[in-house]
Amino acid sequence: MARVVVLGAGISGHTAALHLRRMLDKRHEVVVVSPNSQWNWIPSNIWVGVGRMKPSQVTFPLKPVYDKHGVDFRQAKAVALHPEGDERTAKGYVDVVYTDPARAGEMQSIEYDYVINATGPKLNFAATPGLGPDGHTVSVCTYGHADEAAKQLADVIAKLRAGQKQTLVIGVGHGTCTCEGAAFEYTFNVEHELRAAGVRDLAEIIYLTNEYDLGDFGVGGLTFKQGGFVTSSKLWTESLFKERGVKSILRAHVQKVEEGRIFYETLDGSQDTLDFDFAMLLPPFRGQDLQAFARDGSDITAQVFAPSGFLKVDADYTAKPVEEWKASDWPSTYVSPSYPNVFGVGIAFAPPHPISTPRKAPNGTVISPAPPRTGMPSGLMGRAVAMNIADMISGKSNSPQHHASMAEMGAACVASAGAGFTKGTAASMTMYPVVPDYDKFPGYGRSLTETTGEIGLAGHWMKHLLHVMFIYKAKGKLGWSMIPE
Amino acid sequence: MSRPTTNSEDTMTSTPSHSEADVPRGPLAGLTDPSAYEAPMPTERTVKLRTNLPIQAYRFAAVSLKMTRMILRSHG
C-alpha cells in the first residue's frame, strides 16, 4: 500500500489528485491537503470582479467531490516537509495545521510515499506597502477579493452616474509580478461595464504594468500570421488600447500605495505618483511558507526551495544571460533533484528564469514580468506527475517517464475583453510552445502555424464554454477524464 | 542607494524615496495616451464583425479547431 499526499487543490493539485485516484487501485491512498474548503475556477474571477458572476458560480466545495472519488481530504495548511523522515520514521512526512473550523489549529504529521507540492502562490501583498485588500487597492486573485472589487467598482459607477470624474488604475502592484493577462482582462471588462452603464466618458482608465511593451503577457509577447503579415501581440494589443481609449504606463514598479495615490518608478529611472479613485493591482507571488528539515532536524529549506519559496525541480538553475537561455533549461518531470519522491507542479515549482527579457532600472530595481505557469500548463504538469507516480507505484517504471515541459507544450488562452452573450468579446490566443525554443523555431521561437490570436465574440463564447467545462471536469462528473487539461 | 531584497519571485525592490516636495509635476512618468500608439485603428466594419453572430459562429468553430489541435499536440 502506498500513500500519495497532494499539497494544494488548485488546478494542478486537483488535477493530479483526481488522475491519481483514477489510475491507482483502492489499496493505495490519495490524500489532499488544502487550507481552502472550496475549489475556485480562478479565470472567471474576472467576471466576479465586475459583478457579472457571483462567487458561488466560480466555486464548489471540495469535500463532497473527494468523498465521492475516495480521496482523503484534509482541510489544512502544510507548514513543514520532512523528506528524510526523522529518528521515529524513515518515511518522509509533512506537518500540517488544520484550517477546518472543526479542528482549527490542530497539528498533524502525515507520512507519504510520494508528495506533490501544488501549493500555488502566496499572494505577496506585503512586498509593496499599502497594496491589497488590507491596504488601499483591490484584487481579483481570489473569489473573495473579486467580490470586494465588484462592490467598489459599483460605488465608482454610482459616482460616475452622479457626474463625478473617476480615475481607475488597473494592472500590477510590483515590478516582478506575473499574470499580466489577468490585469489585461480586468481592464477591458471594467471598460466594457462602464460603457454599458453609459458612464465611460467621465472615467479615465490607466493600465499600469511592468511589461516592457503591451502584449508581452510575461511570455515575451507573441508573433503570429494575420492578414498576410507576420505581426506581433504588441501591435495587436496597442490597437485594442487605442480602440477602447485606455491609457497605459509601461515598465513600472509600484513602490507603495497610499489612500488614493500610487508611488511608482519606471525603467528609465523616473519616479512619479498617480492619483486614483479605484485601483485593482495584482500582487507579486512567492512560494508558500513551507520549510524543509533533514532527518537530524537541521533546516534544509534553502536546499529544497529556491529563495522565492518555490520548490526546486529538474530545471537548470545555472545563472546565465538571456542569450544563453535554452528550452532545455525548463523542467519536464517536476521531480526534486534532492528527493525522487518529491514533486512540485503549477505555480509551486521554481522556474529556471523568466520568459520575458529581464530588465533593471538604473537604480537596480527589477522591472520585468515573472513567468506565468497557470491554466493549461498547470493542468498538464499535474497530469504528467500523476501518471509518473502511478507508474512507479504499480512497478511499470522506476523513474518518471512522462514529460510536460513548458518548452514542449502549447497553451490556449482566452482573455476576456468584456462579458455578454451578444456584446462580449475576448482575445483567443494559442501559442506553441509556451517557452520559446529558438533551436526548433528559429527567428520567432514559436511555431507561426500554432501561434494565433484574434478578438471577437467567439472568444467570449469560448471562455464561457471553458468555464462550464472545467468546473464540470473539476467536479469529477461522468467522463471528466475525457476532458483535456 | 542600497536596496533591500524581497522574497517575491527572486528579485529586488526599491525603497520609496518620494516626498511630496520632490515629486515632479507635469505629465505622469511613462503615461502613454492611446492615440500615441502607431498600431492600426480597426475600422467600424471590423469592430462590428467582431460581434456579428453568423461570422462569430464560424470563428467559434475555427478557434475551437485550432485549440483542439493545440491541446491534442500538448497532450502527447
Of B9, B18, B53, Cβ closest to residue A285: B9
Mean pLDDT for all residues in chain A: 97
For residue range A212-265, what is the model confidence (pLDDT) as tens digits? 999 999 999 999 998 899 999 999 999 999 999 999 999 999 999 999 999 999
pLDDT exceeds cutoff 50 at B20 = no
Does B64 sit within 8 Å of A462, measured CB to CB? yes
Q: Is B43 on the interface with A (CB under 8 A)?
A: no
**Using 50, 70 and 90 to split pLDDT, how confident is the model at B9?**
low
Does A249 sit within 8 Å of B70, measured CB to CB? no
Interface-testing mutation among B11, B15, B56, B69, with chain A (most A C-beta atoms within 10 A): B11
Does A176 sit within 8 Å of B9, measured CB to CB? yes
For residue range A374-384, what is the model confidence (pLDDT) as tens digits? 889 999 999 99
pLDDT (average), residues A57-61: 98
Distance CA A174, CA A188 (A): 21
Chain B residue with CA closest to A244: the answer is B34
Q: Is B2 on the interface with A (CB under 8 A)?
A: no
pLDDT at B37: 92
Chain centroid offset of residue A372 CA: 6
pLDDT exceeds cutoff 90 at A61 = yes
Least confident range of A204-218, A248-262, B7-21 = B7-21
Interface-testing mutation among B32, B68, B74, with chain A (most A C-beta atoms within 10 A): B74
**Using 50, 70 and 90 to split pLDDT, how confident is the model at B27?**
confident
Q: Is B66 on the interface with A (CB under 8 A)?
A: yes
pLDDT (average), residues A402-430: 94
Does A364 sit within 8 Å of B3, measured CB to CB? yes
Chain B residue with CA closest to A428: the answer is B63
For residue range A285-340, what is the model confidence (pLDDT) as tens digits? 999 999 999 999 999 999 999 999 999 999 999 999 999 999 999 999 999 999 99
**Using 50, 70 and 90 to split pLDDT, how confident is the model at B74?**
confident
Chain B residue with CA closest to A456: the answer is B50
CA distances from A95 to A4, A212, A231, A337 (A): 15, 42, 51, 21
Q: Is the peptide bond before A377 cis (omega within 30 degrees of 0)?
A: no
Does A270 sit within 8 Å of B70, measured CB to CB? no
Does A263 sit within 8 Å of B30, measured CB to CB? no
Does B14 sit within 8 Å of A253, measured CB to CB? yes
Grid coordinates given for A133:
485588500
Least confident range of A99-108, A331-340, B22-31 = B22-31
Least confident range of A235-244, A250-259, A446-455, B11-20 = B11-20
Percent of chain A with pLDDT over 90: 98
Chain A residue with CA closest to B59: the answer is A458
Burial class (CB in 10 A: 0-12, 13-18, 19+), A206: buried
Interface-testing mutation among A242, A403, A481, with chain B (most B C-beta atoms within 10 A): A242
pLDDT exceeds cutoff 80 at A412 = yes
Does A457 sit within 8 Å of B56, measured CB to CB? yes
The count of CB pairs under 8 A between chains A and B is 190
Amino acid present at A99 = T
Q: Is B42 on the interface with A (CB under 8 A)?
A: yes
What is the length of chain A?
485
Grid coordinates given for A296:
537530524
pLDDT (average), residues A124-148: 98
Does A370 sit within 8 Å of B9, measured CB to CB? yes
**Smallest CA–CA separation between A84 and chain B, in Å?**
26
Contact call for residues A376 and B71 (beta carbons, < 8 A): yes
pLDDT (average), residues A254-282: 98
Does B50 sit within 8 Å of A457, measured CB to CB? yes
Contact call for residues A10 and A18 (beta carbons, < 8 A): no
The residues near B76 (Cβ < 8 Å, ≥ 6 apart) are none
pLDDT at B4: 34
pLDDT (average), residues A184-198: 98
Contact call for residues A198 and A158 (beta carbons, < 8 A): no
Collapsing DSSP states into helix, strand and coil, what is residue A149? helix
Q: Which residues in chain B have Cβ-Cβ distances shorter than 8 Å to A127?
A: 6-8, 13
Sequence-distant contacts of A475-484: CB under 8 A, at least 24 apart = A475/A60, A475/A65, A476/A18, A476/A65, A476/A68, A476/A69, A480/A18, A481/A18, A481/A19, A481/A22, A484/B71, A484/B72, A484/B75
Amino acid present at A298 = S
Contact call for residues A116 and A385 (beta carbons, < 8 A): yes
Cα–Cα nearest to A462, from B74, B46, B56, B71: B56
pLDDT exceeds cutoff 80 at A89 = yes
pLDDT at B72: 85
Q: Is B8 on the interface with A (CB under 8 A)?
A: yes
Of B9, B28, B56, Cβ closest to residue A272: B28
Of B6, B30, B56, Cβ closest to residue A251: B30
Q: Is B54 on the interface with A (CB under 8 A)?
A: no
**Smallest CA–CA separation between B59 and chain A, in Å?**
6
Chain B residue with CA closest to A128: the answer is B13
pLDDT (average), residues B26-37: 88
pLDDT exceeds cutoff 80 at B26 = no
**Using 50, 70 and 90 to split pLDDT, how confident is the model at B73?**
confident
pLDDT (average), residues A151-166: 98
Does B70 sit within 8 Å of A238, measured CB to CB? no
